[in-house]
Amino acid sequence: MTADSFPEQATLEQAIDLPLLSRTTAWAEVNSGTTNLDGLETVAEMLADAFAVLPGQTRLIEPAPVEAVRPDGTVDQVLRGQHLVTTVRPEAPVRILLTGHMDTVFPPDHAFQQITELESGVLNGPGLADMKGGLSVMLGALQLLEQSDLASRIGYDVMINSDEEVGSGSSAQLIERLARGTAAALTYEPALPDGTLAGERGGSGNFSIIFTGKSAHAGRNPDEGRNALVAAADMAMRLKALHRAGLSVNPAKIDGGGPNNSVPDHAILRVNFRPQSLADQAQAQDALDQLVTDIAQDHDLDVHCHGSFGRPPKPIDPQAQKLFGLVKQCGAELGLDINWRGTGGVCDGNNIAACGIPVVDTMGVRGGAIHSSDEYLIVESLVERTKLSALTIMRIAAKGGL
């Protein structure tokens, strides 16, 4: 079957008439860094207006509470933006989940705020690839689906969160709830410039370990003190010793300490774990728990660990393999050679896979240099990837699942 002979072709050709680029640039022109609540509110309203063209209910969901450990050791709540959910045909016999994020890594005071043309067909700008272009592709694919005879055979939820770039702490429960009972999920992180998708992913866990010692004068009675900074440094070294193939351990920062003439009674160690498998994650958690106990005993002070493995590892199981195979087949019919490979990066696809739902999480535009001022979008991929997603969804509808 060639790219011009399959039955969905006429519907897919309507992608060229969709405002894929104009809405991408309009969304990207509004700063929506994760901490920019005003910008996120504006973008959420723009997205709600855009997704209202779909025949369902679009609503904004309040974020779940998120805690953070401050440099002084206090734990308080962090404010996040609202999340968007669109629900279409909840009664349909086959349901899928489509997810994306509206936040970027660029705060409002960052120098990178403008969209420029690098060369013909390549745009540079904040969030163009990651992932406002992907959100436009997602909406475009659903618009094409709704114009097809297959639309009535499938229902879906769209979830666009405001905190993916910082781990989805305020949206993880929402993702889990929406994923439950679905046949498959598509997430719109950018593909690589050549179109390669992310396959299996390692996991990620972020922890803040609080050390509470006892202050004392460094000259008069130092031995009466309990040095929290030394305990944190000892913990950092022991954690780094856990680093191995299959488990990256990165002690990243120590907050705390004090003047030279005082034994410091407070420190916080920030550490990131990257396990390749669920077994690696379990071993890392066990080792961390044991070290908390050991350091507390060895240094005679209090140690409290705050955090979790917010992104579990994402393997490619047989159902996921089927979904990747379907995307590859759809790509071939569109004249695209779709491949995938493992990556150390994490995203909401990790959380979806942890629910037992097959997911392809790089269905967005082709682009690169994300999370930097060199981020770019390959413009032709907007139409290309819209067709790919739409055809994939139509095939799931036609087959009644994977």
Where residue 226 sits, what CATH number does that domain have? 3.30.70.360
| 4 occurs within a structural domain | no
pLDDT in tens, 6-48: 899 999 999 999 999 999 999 999 999 999 999 999 999 999 9
Report pTM.
0.95
Q: Which whole number is the average pLDDT over 196-209?
A: 98
Q: Would you call 76 helix, strand, or coil by DSSP?
A: strand
Mean pLDDT of the chain: 97
Residues 77 and 105 in one domain: yes
Out of 290, 311, 332, pick the residue that ends a domain: 311
Q: Looking at residue 150, which CATH number applies to its domain?
A: 3.40.630.10
End-to-end Cα distance, the chain = 20
| 148 occurs within a structural domain | yes
| 1 occurs within a structural domain | no
Split at pLDDT 50, 70, 90, the class of 4 is low
E strands in 171-217 = 184-187, 197-201, 204-212
Out of 283, 311, 339, pick the residue that ends a domain: 311
With a cut of 60, say whether residue 273 has pLDDT above it.
Answer: yes
| 2 occurs within a structural domain | no
Alpha-carbon span 85 to 100, nearest angstrom:
10
Split at pLDDT 50, 70, 90, the class of 242 is very high
Residues 355 and 259 in one domain: no
Residues 290 and 320 in one domain: no
- The residue range of the domain holding 276 is 204-311
Residue for token pair 């410039």: 193
Q: Which DSSP letter does residue 15 get?
A: G
Residues 182 and 237 in one domain: no
Residue type at 375?
E
Residues 142 and 212 in one domain: no
Q: Where do runs of H (alpha helix) occur along 300-380?
A: 318-333, 348-354
Residues 262 and 388 in one domain: no
Report CA 239 to chain centroid distance, whole Å: 26
Alpha-carbon span 396 to 322, nearest angstrom:
11
With a cut of 70, say whether residue 164 has pLDDT above it.
Answer: yes
Indicate the burial class of 55 (C-beta count within 10 angstroms; 0-12, 13-18, 19 or more): exposed
Answer for the pair 183, 95: CB distance below 8 angstroms, yes or no.
yes
Residues 89 and 147 in one domain: yes
The count of domains in the chain is: 2
With a cut of 60, say whether residue 2 has pLDDT above it.
Answer: no
